[in-house]
Amino acid sequence: MKKRTFLKLTGAAGAGLLVAPFAGCGPSGDAEGVMAPEATPGAGEQTGKRPKLKLHEQAPLGYAYDALAPVIDAETMELHYSKHHAGYVRNLNAAVRKAHEFEGLHIDELLGRLNESDAHVGLRNNGGGHFNHTLYWKLLTPGGASAPSGKFKAAIDEAFGSTANMLEALRTAGAKQFGSGWAWLIEQADGRLAVTSTPNQDNPLMTQIVEAPGRPIIGVDVWEHAYYLNYQNRRGDYLQAFTDVLNWDAAAAVWAEGVA
Ligand code: MN3
Q: Are 250 and 146 in contact (CB under 8 A)?
A: no
Q: Are 184 and 214 in contact (CB under 8 A)?
A: yes
Distance 134 CA to ligand 1 centre (A): 10
| Beta strand extents in the chain (DSSP E only) | 18-19, 55-56, 181-187, 193-199, 215-221
- DSSP letter for 4, please: -
Nearest to 107 by CA among 243, 223, 16: 16
Distance 47 CA to ligand 1 centre (A): 29
Compute the average pLDDT of residues 114-129: 97
Q: How confident is the model at residue 259 (pLDDT cuts 50, 70, 90)?
A: confident
Q: Is the pLDDT of residue 175 over 50?
A: yes
Compute the average pLDDT of residues 24-52: 38
pLDDT digits (tens, 9 = 90+) for 188-212: 999 999 999 999 999 999 999 999 9
Q: Is the pLDDT of residue 121 over 80?
A: yes
Q: Is the pLDDT of residue 253 over 70?
A: yes
Contacts for 30-39: CB closer than 8 Å, 24+ residues apart = 31/104, 34/103, 34/104, 35/100, 35/103, 35/104, 37/100, 39/97
Please state, in angstroms and as integers, the Cα–Cα distance from residue 64 to each residue in 77, 81, 108, 194, 235, following that order: 9, 11, 27, 32, 24
Which residues, in sequence order, are CB contacts of 15 under 8 Å at separation 6+? 106, 260
Q: Is the pLDDT of residue 6 over 70?
A: no
Distance 28 CA to ligand 1 centre (A): 34
Cis status, amide bond into 213, omega within 30 of 0: no
Q: How confident is the model at residue 41 (pLDDT cuts 50, 70, 90)?
A: very low
Domain with CATH 3.55.40.20 in the chain: 150-257
Distance 73 CA to ligand 1 centre (A): 14
**pLDDT value for 111:** 98
Domain with CATH 1.10.287.990 in the chain: 7-139
pLDDT digits (tens, 9 = 90+) for 58-68: 999 999 999 99
- Rounded Cα distance between 153 and 255, Å, is 11
Nearest to 35 by CA among 49, 58, 52: 52
Distance 222 CA to ligand 1 centre (A): 7
Kindly tell me the sign of the dihedral angle through the C-alpha atoms of 163, 166, 170, 176.
positive
**pLDDT value for 56:** 97
- Rounded Cα distance between 135 and 73, Å, is 19
Q: Is the pLDDT of residue 174 over 50?
A: yes
When mean pLDDT is compared across 19-33, 176-190, 227-241, the lowest value belongs to 19-33
**pLDDT value for 52:** 55
When mean pLDDT is compared across 86-90, 242-246, 252-256, the lowest value belongs to 242-246
Q: What is the pTM of this model?
A: 0.82
**pLDDT value for 24:** 31
Q: Is the pLDDT of residue 83 over 60?
A: yes
**pLDDT value for 217:** 98
Q: Is the pLDDT of residue 30 over 90?
A: no
Distance 167 CA to ligand 1 centre (A): 20
**pLDDT value for 244:** 87
Distance 212 CA to ligand 1 centre (A): 21
Q: Is the pLDDT of residue 230 over 50?
A: yes
Distance 260 CA to ligand 1 centre (A): 18
7-139, CATH topology level: Helix Hairpins (1.10.287)
Q: Are 39 and 49 in contact (CB under 8 A)?
A: no
The letter for the amino acid at 29 is G
Distance 25 CA to ligand 1 centre (A): 33
Three-class HEC string of 13-51? CCCCCEECCCCCCCCCCCHHHHCCCCCCCCCCCCCCCCC
Choices 3.30.420.40, 3.40.50.2300, 3.40.80.10, 3.55.40.20: CATH for 150-257:
3.55.40.20
Distance 97 CA to ligand 1 centre (A): 24
Distance 177 CA to ligand 1 centre (A): 14
- SS3 call for 80: helix
Compute the average pLDDT of residues 218-246: 93
Q: Is the pLDDT of residue 22 over 80?
A: no
